[in-house]
Amino acid sequence: MSQNLAAPATPAPLAEFLARQERIGLLRFLTCGSVDDGKSTLIGRLLYDTKLIFEDQLATLQHDSRKHGTTGDDIDFALLVDGLQAEREQGITIDVAYRFFTTERRRFIVADTPGHEQYTRNMATGASNAELAVVLVDARHGVLTQTRRHSFITSLLGIRHIVLAVNKIDLVDFDQGRFNAILDDYRAAVAGLGFRSLVAIPLSARFGDNVIERSTRTPWYTGPTLLEHLETVDVDADAAVRPFRMPVQWVNRPNLDFRGYSGTIASGTVRRGDRVSVAHDGRASTVTRIVTMDGELERAGAGSAVTLVLADQIDISRGDVLATPGAPSSIGDQFDANLVWLTDQPLFPGRSYIIKLGTRSLSGTITRIRHRTDVNTFEQVAAETLGVNDVALVSIALTAPMALERFAESRELGGFIVIDRLTNATVGVGMIETIAQSATNIVWHQMAVDKEARAAQKRQRPAVLWFTGLSGAGKSTIADLVDRKLHALGHHTYILDGDNVRHGLNRDLGFSEADRVENIRRAAEAARLMVDAGLIVMVSFISPYRSDRDAARERFEAGEFIEVFIDTPIDECRRRDPKGLYARADAGKIRNFTGVDAPYEAPAAPELRLRTAEAAAETLAERVIEDLRRRAIII
């Protein structure tokens, strides 16, 4: 006998609840401020007072309050979000803690961010997706340096709505004069940061005054409670009225009969029958279907995850941006941006990174630090490098044009992250300030006599042999021997030697890490022009940083860049010491000398590895010639 195995129907009260939750909005906000201002306690109080703590959680909280708490016999609400053992032991927030809670009027995702200066990068992470910031100030201490720092970073990250929560008002006897003085100080501190709304609330997170319920101990305060304001503040007004934008996340091809373009709508709305265009080339088509997991729609707006089906078969791929035809995004490969540096590894202009913007990733170079901002005073100061938690206005050049918008107009197409090419770690977060209009007007002029024609005349294929290794390894010696052999065979070559180039093109550069980065960038650009002339170019530079050599490789076509690692032990280099440099470096007369007090990063997978301790320079040079023949660079 068969049985009906259909899933049981959802109980009516639960179904009504789920339907209601789908209709109410979502607000993402963060708490920030200085150490011990009560950020974690405030979130814990919100969760407790909105009845979102289960009985077992409450029992654990009571137990932990006795063990780790700082509120005597009272419940320490901060322990609800200070989850790391180190946080509980030190009584501070280190990582970003996210919590979800809901009321009848709105759903919330709140990020509790750390207050200590050394965790500013964590705070920036929490702010990256927030729409509102609750800036806490201890009523006893008022506006502090970290208050200003966090407010500045929230402004950079596009947050335009601020709640100034003057916490611990009970510790100043609910004094209205103290509250007003702090509000005046804060308004003066953030003047010019572009906040659209600023609501100040006197509260006590520990005792719940003006958090959920209006406090009878602040009769002079007539504004909303914190929860009332969070439930009603309008943070979505702009996204819906801006032109339609949707970065394509992936091309949806479940079968041969369906092709759709999936992504989350960044701004504006789209309707079935609307015309949309691909931002970078203007090709347009008509939307025939708007598909979601819950069925097809007639209309979708900002924040909706959809798959658009178009009437025409046009070439669209991940990273492209669909837009309103009459109001396309800017297309460019150069822009200025505010950058928050997140890592202890310094930033140096000229070094290549991966820039991930929207759904597309490109190689890019931070070409210039225009100024660093002192986040304590907002003063703009000159800088050659950036360290952890530094904020600066920088210029960035990408390797190809892409759809760009100012961050003030679009977080999705104006905000980006910077990724280290070797470690794949996120090292910076940026917000586009201005787009260089000239970037799309500068076009490589294609000559009638091209690279292939010049190389064919010389009976060779153009290439660059990038010799790298420690000082004294034998780079220049082997490169010179290779050059002589190629010349004798009738080939056209040139050598870019590190020392020689520093007499002219790079004579303005020293040996700091920033100058070494720029030294290699210029050498790579010069070599690229010579390869375009059809030459075989020997580049003999220490080039100690792997990321800089990888960036140099990217400037050439496939097969044109041959990395030759002159692998010589440092003890052997010291023994040779042809210029006496190691002896001077050991005596402290030369600073930042590679192998002594500056690092050398050996190639991970060079095309050629030449061990000078195992063979004579003449033999190794002949190996290079044989490799060039094998690659058909020479005949």
CATH of the domain at 272: 2.40.30.10
> Is the pLDDT reported for residue 1 higher than 70?
no
Q: 280 with 363, same domain?
A: no
Q: Which of residues 120 and 480 earns the better pLDDT score? A: 480
Pairing of strands 25-33, 106-112: parallel
The answer to whether residue 554 scores a pLDDT higher than 70 is yes
Q: How confident is the model at residue 90 (pLDDT cuts 50, 70, 90)?
A: very low
Backbone dihedral region for residue 552 (phi beyond 0: left; psi -120 to 50: alpha; all else: beta):
alpha
pLDDT-based confidence at residue 553 (cuts at 50, 70, 90) = very high
Residue tagged 């702090």 (tokens): 182
Q: Which residue has the higher pLDDT, 342 or 139?
A: 139
What are the tens digits of pLDDT across the range 467-502?
999 999 999 999 999 999 999 999 999 999 988 998
Contact between 103 and 67 under an 8 Å Cβ cutoff? The reply is: no
Which of left, alpha, beta for 556 (phi over 0: left; psi -120 to 50: alpha)? beta
Q: Give φ, ψ of 213 to 5 degrees.
A: -105, 145
**Residue 3 to residue 16: CA distance in whole angstroms:** 29
60 and 179 in a single domain? The answer is: yes
Q: Give residue 389's pLDDT band: very low, low, confident or very high (50, 70, 90).
A: confident
Pairing of strands 536-540, 493-497: parallel
Tell me the C-alpha distance between 201 and 308, whole Å: 44
Is residue 142 over pLDDT 50? yes
As a whole number, mean pLDDT of residues 219-238 equals 88
303 Ramachandran zone, left/alpha/beta (phi>0; psi -120 to 50): left
Residue 347 DSSP symbol: B
Question: Contacts from 249-254 at CB under 8 Å and sequence distance 24+?
Answer: 249/318, 249/359, 250/318, 251/316, 251/317, 251/318, 252/307
Give CA–CA dist 600/299, Å, rounded. 57
Q: How many CB atoms lie within 10 A of CB 395?
A: 17
Cα 312 to the center of its chain, rounded Å: 35
What pLDDT was estimated at residue 236?
67
- pLDDT category, 38, cuts 50, 70, 90? confident
Rounded to a whole number of angstroms, the distance between the first and last alpha carbons of the chain is: 81
Claim to verify: residue 393 and residue 250 sit in the same structural domain: no
Least confident interval from 47-51, 284-288, 357-361: 47-51
Annotated catalytic residue within 215, 277, 476, 543: 543
Q: Is residue 298 part of a domain?
A: yes
Average pLDDT, whole number, for the chain?
A: 83
Is 446 domain-assigned?
A: no
Chosen domain end from 265, 290, 323: 323
Burial zone of 345 (CB within 10 Å; 0-12 exposed, 13-18 middle, 19+ buried): middle
pLDDT > 90: what percent of the chain?
Answer: 40
Asked if the model's pLDDT at residue 95 lies above 60, the reply is no
Count of domains for the chain: 4
Local confidence band at 458 (pLDDT 50, 70, 90 cut-offs) = confident
pLDDT of 525 above 80: yes
457 against 443, higher pLDDT: 457
Question: Do 81 and 147 reside in the same domain of the chain?
Answer: yes
Q: Which residue has the higher pLDDT, 350 or 21?
A: 350
Lowest mean pLDDT among 100-114, 169-183, 422-436, 489-503: 100-114
Q: pLDDT tier at 99 (50, 70, 90 boundaries)?
A: confident
Whether 544 is in a domain gets the answer yes
**pLDDT digit string (tens) for 564-601?**
999 999 999 988 887 888 888 888 888 888 888 888 99
Whole-number Cα distances in Å, 153 to 200, 259, 380, 386, 435 = 19, 41, 15, 16, 21
pLDDT value of position 384: 85
Q: Is residue 404 situated within a structural domain? A: yes
- CB-based contact 207:76 (threshold 8 Å): no
Q: Higher-confidence residue: 513 or 618? A: 618
Q: Is the pLDDT of residue 444 over 60?
A: no
Measured CA to CA, the distance from residue 379 to residue 371 in angstroms comes to 10
Average pLDDT value for residue range 156-181: 94
pLDDT at residue 361 tops 80:
yes
> How far, in Å, are 142, 430, 439, 544, 552 from residue 548 at the CA level?
47, 22, 24, 8, 6
Same structural domain, 127 and 257: no
Indicate whether 165 and 257 sit together in one domain. Answer: no
Contact 71, 65 (CB under 8 A): yes
Phi/psi at 620 (5° precision): -70, -35
| H-run or E-run covering 365 | strand 360-374
Q: Minimum mean pLDDT among 321-330, 469-478, 489-498, 540-549: which range?
A: 321-330
One domain for residues 95 and 219: yes
Closest-CA residue to 126 (of 262, 249, 29, 257): 29
Among residues 205, 235, 265, which one ends one of the domains? 235
Average pLDDT, stretch 154-177?
93
- The pLDDT of 249-275, averaged and rounded, is 90
Rounded to whole angstroms, the Cα distance separating 296 from 287 reads 12
Q: Is residue 577 part of a domain?
A: yes
Quick one: tokens of 240?
């819906």
Query: CA 27, CA 19: separation in Å to the nearest integer?
Result: 18
Quote the tokens at residue 87: 């946080």
**Residue 635 placed within a domain:** no
> How far is residue 78's CA from residue 38's CA, in Å, rounded to a whole number?
8
Of the given ranges (156-160, 236-240, 311-315, 496-500), which has the lowest mean pLDDT? 236-240
Using N-to-C axis directions, what is the helix angle for 120-127 and 145-156, rounded to 10°?
40
Residue 451 has pLDDT above 70, yes or no: yes
Task: State the pairing for strand pair 536-540/463-468.
Answer: parallel
d(C-alpha 496, C-alpha 505), whole Å: 11
Q: Residue 271: CB partners within 8 Å, gap ≥ 6?
A: 287, 290, 298, 299
Domain-embedded: residue 7: no
* Residue 543 among the catalytic residues: yes
Mark which of 191, 211, 235 sits at the end of a domain.
Answer: 235
CA dihedral in degrees (225, 228, 231, 237; nearest 10)? -90
Which has the higher per-residue pLDDT, 21 or 561?
561
* pLDDT over 50 (residue 82): no
pLDDT, position 488: 93
Is residue 97 in some structural domain? yes
pLDDT of residue 618: 96
- Confidence label for 84 from pLDDT (cuts 50, 70 and 90): very low
Residues 288 and 425 in one domain: no
Over range 29-48, report the average pLDDT.
Answer: 80
Neighbours of 35 (CB within 10 A): 16
Q: Do 472 and 484 sit in the same domain of this protein? A: yes
Sign, CA dihedral 281-282-287-291, equals positive
Position 275 confidence tier, pLDDT thresholds 50, 70, 90: very high
Lowest mean pLDDT among 21-35, 114-128, 382-396: 114-128
pLDDT at 117: 57
Does residue 399 share a domain with residue 261? Answer: no
119 shares a domain with 185? yes
**Distance in angstroms (rounded) separating the CA atoms of residues 532 and 537:** 11
Range from 226-240, 367-381, 612-626 carrying the lowest mean pLDDT: 226-240
Whether pLDDT at 93 is above 60: no
pLDDT higher than 80, residue 112: no
Closest CA to 473 of 399, 544, 546, 525: 544
Q: By percentage, how much of the chain surpasses pLDDT 70? A: 84
**Whether residue 428 is found in the same domain as residue 465:** no
Distances (CA, A) of 150 to 38, 158, 162, 181: 15, 13, 11, 20
The CATH number covering residue 555 comes to: 3.40.50.300
Cβ-count burial of 440 within 10 angstroms (0-12 exposed, 13-18 middle, 19+ buried)?
Answer: middle
8 A C-beta contact, residue 96 and residue 103: no
**How much is the pLDDT for 272?**
94
Q: 368: domain range? A: 331-440
